[in-house]
Amino acid sequence: MEYRRRELLGASAAGIAAAVGGCLGLGGDQSEGSITGEELALATTTSTYDTGLLDEINAAFQERFGTPVAANAQGTGAAIESARNGNADVILVHARSLEDEFMREGHGVNRRSLMFNDFVIVGPSDDPAGVADTEQATAAFEAIASAQAQFVSRGDDSGTHTKELAIWDQSGAEPGGEWYQELGSGMGDTLNNASESGSYTLADRGTFLSMQDNVDLEILLQGPIEGGPELLANPYGIMAANPEVHSNVNYDLAMAYIGFFTSPEGQELVGDYTANGEQLFYPEALSEDPNFQQYVPEGWQPDSSEE
Amino acid sequence: MPFESLAEPNYLRSIIQVSLTVSLTAILLSTLLSLPIAFVVGFADFRGKRVITAVINTGMGFPSVVVGLLVLMALSNSGPLGALELVYTPEAMIISQCVLAAPVITGVALSAIESVDDAVRDAAYGVGGTRTDVALITLKEARYGVVTGILAGFGRAISEVGSVLIVGGNIAYADGTSKTRTITTAITLETRRGEFETALVLGAVLLVLVLLVNGIVLRLGGR
């Protein structure tokens, strides 16, 4: 019996040894490069991450403060929800209405307007709905609806999705029917899908530019950066989770990150970042003139009847 | 710019490391959990045994995204286990993969144990073996089936993307070092970025790794 037992032990030893070896290896990596032994939990949108901007900013932040940034790239809705559950120290998102709601609920503090780019309406180059002939985003959506041309929607409560719904809302058209498909995917997946299926979609310029070599789509209606309608503006905001509501968050680090991102150095990194030779984001945090609206929910007045 | 992210030396090495560490640890833990259950259910005769077997077999097909969601809700800082601060860590991914792999290991091991011929057990009793001896003999007869179960569990764990994406968050640091990015979640990210070539290379790496682990285990298992 002794012999048999030993044989069995040998068989299971392999997995154990491998697992333990891996464990030790991982432990070493986690503390690498961190002075404080801490890290900053950033919940953000796919557009800032997938374009590579955050790799640039976060590397510079880590070099300066010795703290690595753990960036969790989701849609804006998911990123805010993650912070609402206390799972993020700082959020970087692009849907003002959702940001304002988050602030009004007391979850977020110290909002800053960080940077902007714009949305563009992209589609197949033969442009069956004639979007290129329109000048307003609402008119473009109406043209797509009346032609019943294929349109793919993010459908994921992201900032882009929120903007898309706002445009449909302001237009005279109803999205629906077989030509309108909600994907529930990130911007990159949605662009891939639109390219394959010959559909129109609303995209942030940054993600589109960084992917345009890989997709068969063209910009048919420009946003405000190239003289298009103001409705297609895409402003990004950053704010810290309220440490009084979420006692576990790392408020100091969050503020250090916001401070770095909105500093002349951070803003210069934003302005200098390019993909395929084109600037993706435009810094907006620094100005000689005061911009008080960035700190409060849009349209908030001290004498309004709120608490 | 194909293979851009693969040019970062840390990137590939660290996501492979995270993938292997998480999945192997998860398999170790779920093996320790599953085999005793498989032995008890396999050796004992009791009412409701068929129900338990059915439950285990159902668990083999449990959707990974649902496991991910449940683990996220439990570990979230506003959830019941929030104080542990495990959300978006490799430990959270180990937990969800452990939950996913356990029914596979238990189910396959159980069926291997049950299929050992009764004559083998009777013979062991006949030559005067104790209960422990008989159990060990049965285990030895069933060992290939048990190892197959463990490998199937490993295959499920390392190739799974739904739950690790939810509870891990697919996080890598700015220098490309992975925190919770596994090979599978890196494939979803690269696909989303339109970097299909990189995604394909990662897919090939995953296949080779699974093949290697299978080869090593089967070799050590004496086959």
Give pLDDT tens digits for A13-59. Answer: 443 444 444 443 443 333 344 455 689 999 999 889 988 999 999 99
Q: Does B221 touch chain A (CB under 8 A)?
A: yes
> In which residue are the tokens 């991982």 written?
A26
- Tell me: do A186 and A215 sit in the same domain: yes
Confidence of residue B211 (pLDDT cuts 50, 70, 90): very high
**Neighboring chain B residues of A194 at a CB cutoff of 8 Å:** none
Chain A environment of B39 (Cβ under 8 Å): none
Phi/psi of residue A74, nearest 5 degrees:
-130, -170
A211 to chain B: which residues are within 8 Å by CB? 193-194
Are A160 and A263 in a shared domain?
Answer: no
Asked which of A4-18, A121-135, B129-143 is least confident by mean pLDDT, the reply is A4-18
Q: Find the CATH number of the domain harbouring A56.
A: 3.40.190.10
Task: Mention every residue, 6+ apart, whose C-beta is less than 8 A from residue A102.
Answer: A80, A83, A84, A91, A108, A239
CA distance A193 to A197: 6
Nearest partner of A185 among A197, A196, A193, judged by Cα: A193
pLDDT of residue B51: 93
Q: From B18, which residue of chain A is nearest by alpha-carbon distance?
A: A26
| Amino acid residing at B45 | D
The answer to whether residues A142 and A222 belong to one domain is yes
Distance separating alpha carbons of residues A119 and A219, to the nearest angstrom = 10
- The CA-based angle B181-B185-B189, given to 5 degrees, is 105
Does any CB of chain A come closer than 8 Å to the CB of residue B122? no
Would you say residue B1 has pLDDT above 80? no
Q: Has residue A282 been placed in a domain?
A: yes
Range of the domain at A63: 40-117+233-295
End-to-end CA distance of chain A: 78
User: What total of structural domains would you count in chain B?
Assistant: 1
Q: Which of B146, B192, B182 is nearest to B68 (CA)?
A: B182
Domain boundary (A191, A214, A232) is at A232
CA angle A275, A52, B199 (to 5 degrees): 100
Q: Which residue on chain A is closest to B220 by alpha carbon?
A: A11
CATH of the domain at B22: 1.10.3720.10
pLDDT tens sequence across A95-143: 999 999 999 999 999 999 999 999 999 999 999 999 999 999 999 999 9
Report the predicted TM-score, pTM, of the whole model to 2 decimal places.
0.80
Of A251-260, B48-57, B74-83, where does the model show the most confidence? A251-260
- Angle formed at CA B88 by CA B85 and CA B93, multiple of 5 degrees: 105
Residue B125's pLDDT is: 80
Nearest to B175 among A59, A71, A187 (CB): A59
Are B17 and A54 an interchain contact pair (Cβ–Cβ within 8 Å)?
Answer: no
Residue B13's domain comprises 5-220
* Number of domain units in chain A: 2
Say if residue A50 is in the same domain as residue A107.
Answer: yes
Task: For residue A4, give the nearest of B140, B192, B195 by CB distance.
Answer: B140
Asked if A152 and A225 sit in the same domain, the reply is yes
Q: What is the pLDDT of residue B3?
A: 58
Nearest to A42 by CA among A55, A31, A29: A55
- Report yes or no on A208 lying in a domain: yes
**Among B67, B96, B71, CA closest to B157:** B96
Tell me how far the alpha carbon of residue A70 is from its chain's centroid: 14
Single residue among A214, A232, A250 that ends a domain in this structure: A232
Rounded mean pLDDT, A271-289: 92
Which residues on chain A are in Cβ contact (under 8 Å) with B136?
A: 1, 4-5, 8
Check whether residue A131 and residue A111 sit in a common domain.
no
Residues A244 and A214 reside in one and the same domain: no
In-domain check, residue A305: no
Domain presence at residue A141: yes
Claim to verify: residue A265 and residue A168 sit in the same structural domain: no
Q: Which of B20, B179, B193 is the closest to A70 by Cβ?
A: B179
Q: Is the pLDDT of residue A251 over 90?
A: yes
Question: Which of A185, A200, A232 is the last residue before a domain boundary?
Answer: A232
Number of C-beta neighbours around residue A292 at 10 A: 7
- Measure the CA–CA gap between A84 and A107, rounded to whole angstroms: 6
**Chain-chain contact of A41 with B88 (C-beta, under 8 angstroms):** yes
Helix (H) or strand (E) holding A274: strand A274-275
